[in-house]
Amino acid sequence: MNAKTLLISVGGSPDPIVFSIRGIRPRPEKIIFFTSKSTRASVMKTILPALGDEAKRLEYEVINTNDEQDIEACVFILMKKVPSALKKLGAPETNWPSYVDCTGGTKVMSSAVVWASSLFPCEIIYVGTQGTRSKSGVGIVRSGQEHIVLRKNPWNSVGYIEARSALEAFNRGQYGVAAEALSKLSKKITDPKTSQLFDCLGKVFHGYYCWDIFDHKEARKLLRKWLDELQPIADEPEADEQQIVIPGLKEFIRSALEQLSLLDDIAVPEKHGWFLTRDLLANARRRGELEQKYEDAVARCYSAIEKIAQTELKNKHGIMDTGNVNPMQIPESIREDYCRRYGGNSGRSLRLALHAGMELLLHLEQEKGVKSVGHRFSYLLRKPKSTLDKLIKERNRSILAHGDVPMNQDKYRKLLENALELMNLKESQLMSFPKFPI
């Protein structure tokens, strides 16, 4: 097994440095010394000779700061130079050493080492004492009385700040960003339970990301698997602590489990059309309300209106594809007109766009003496001060359609309201992804 690498700050006393190198288990064979202008020479002149024959097996690099009193300069040089030093040493770690000793150097150098290292899953080492110090107990550790103190990386605690940022991204509808943030965070945490919590929740977030991009099959698989993994973590005796880390975790899991049934419905062929259309409208609302992406929201509303007609024609009238309609499926009273207008001459199939599909639907409903989607569409077009026809025309001139006219919040809201009225739904009936109370 490859020995781990040590990053160690160097001060005026060589004894703690030598004690640390000898005392760590497994012993590091690769070392990065962090020095100042006044301590750089001590690596070769004092520290390595003090190690005796042990120095022969060591590979090392030296990173020097030009200003040991400037914490910004010290952090910057460490962040810049440590990865390249690891590469030169051929170290097993690629981002940061596994061990970091902050005992030596100025207070600024020690602080910089901890600050820079807190971003990575390393162990922080401090050489203290089990005996006495000089200067009546407040000076340096007396030689021969050193004691290595190992501490977990403070990222286990401060990482909660980054976790909160991930929750905020999820609440804003940035599900992929939130998933990636928690995935990266879980790899920085050394506490197994906290790492598992972030990893599982990140995979649940990825499931919602898949749902948001209409990959319902993958979303169903991910959510079912990782919610099952996440729930026992939230139910552990330490659950109150997890609620502090992830506020509202139990309520989030409960809501997410309830929403799995919607993915099940989308997967059922006879339910697929209507549930997919409702999902489209819920997606449109997320784009409009959470991200203010009104072009995307309008495009989804328009697509939902098209699918309302397609689903109704398929489920109630056997017309499976409005882009490939057999002329014989058109009522005889309007067949000649439809063939002339929509390309069905010489027995060819018809291609029915939104208005043509809705007109056919209205005619079929009238023949059967029922009032449904076709009648509602006709009513919305004839409604006093109606905006539906105007909105459809404006959508066709939008940037994501055939023109260059940007959509705005007002147009998105009105088109969403019309789509909901077509489906005979209230906005409150649209599914909302769960949120965290932060």
Tokens of 146: 């050193």
Q: What are phi and psi of 267, to 5 degrees?
A: -80, -15
What pLDDT does 244 receive? 59
Residues 307 and 421 in one domain: yes
Tens of each residue's pLDDT in the chain, 438 residues: 456 899 999 988 888 888 888 878 778 889 999 999 999 999 999 999 998 888 888 899 999 999 999 999 999 999 999 999 999 999 988 889 989 998 889 999 999 998 888 778 788 888 765 545 444 443 444 454 455 555 556 666 666 778 889 999 999 999 999 999 999 888 877 778 888 999 999 999 999 999 999 999 999 999 999 999 999 988 876 655 555 578 889 999 999 999 998 998 887 766 677 889 999 999 999 999 999 999 999 999 999 999 999 998 998 888 988 889 998 989 999 998 998 888 866 667 899 988 888 999 899 988 888 888 888 888 888 876 667 888 888 888 888 888 888 889 999 999 999 999 999 999 999 999 999 987
Closest CA to 30 of 103, 120, 80, 93: 93
User: Which of these three, 266, 290, 315, is where a domain ends?
Assistant: 266
- One-letter identity of residue 425: L
Tokens 């100025």 appear where?
A: 106
Please give the tally of structural domains in the chain: 3
Domain CATH code at residue 58: 3.40.50.10770
Helix-helix angle 373-382:388-396, to 10 degrees: 90
Residues 147 and 248 in one domain: no
Tokens 């004092």 appear where?
A: 46
Residues 201 and 84 in one domain: no
Residues 141 and 214 in one domain: no
- One-letter identity of residue 7: L
Strands (E), 144-230: 146-151
Residue 234 in any domain: the answer is yes
Phi-psi region of 420 (alpha: psi -120 to 50; beta: other; left: phi over 0): alpha
Q: Which domain holds residue 90?
A: 5-153
Residue 434 in any domain: the answer is no
CA torsion sign, 327 to 331 to 332 to 337? negative
Q: Assess contact for 37 and 64: CB atoms under 8 A.
A: yes
- Using alpha carbons only, give the angle 335, 341, 343 rounded to the nearest 5 degrees: 85
User: Which of these three, 248, 266, 284, is where a domain ends?
Assistant: 266
Q: Assess contact for 354 and 305: CB atoms under 8 A.
A: yes
Residues 21 and 116 in one domain: yes
Residue 437 in any domain: the answer is no
Residues 272 and 405 in one domain: yes
Helix (H) or strand (E) holding 124: strand 123-129
Residues 276 and 418 in one domain: yes
Residues 143 and 169 in one domain: no
Tokens of 282: 């819920």
Residue 57 in any domain: the answer is yes
Strands (E), 30-120: 30-35, 59-64, 99-101
Residue 61 in any domain: the answer is yes
Residue 435 in any domain: the answer is no
Residue 436 in any domain: the answer is no
Residues 272 and 246 in one domain: no
Whole-number Å distance between alpha carbons of 259 and 255: 6
Residues 30 and 115 in one domain: yes
Residue 127 in any domain: the answer is yes
What pLDDT does 137 receive? 41
- One-letter identity of residue 233: I
Domain CATH code at residue 222: 1.10.3450
- Using alpha carbons only, give the angle 368, 308, 393 rounded to the nearest 5 degrees: 110
User: Which of these three, 243, 266, 289, is where a domain ends?
Assistant: 266
Closest CA to 338 of 353, 346, 327, 322: 327
Residues 392 and 329 in one domain: yes
Residues 163 and 200 in one domain: yes
* pTM for the whole structure: 0.72
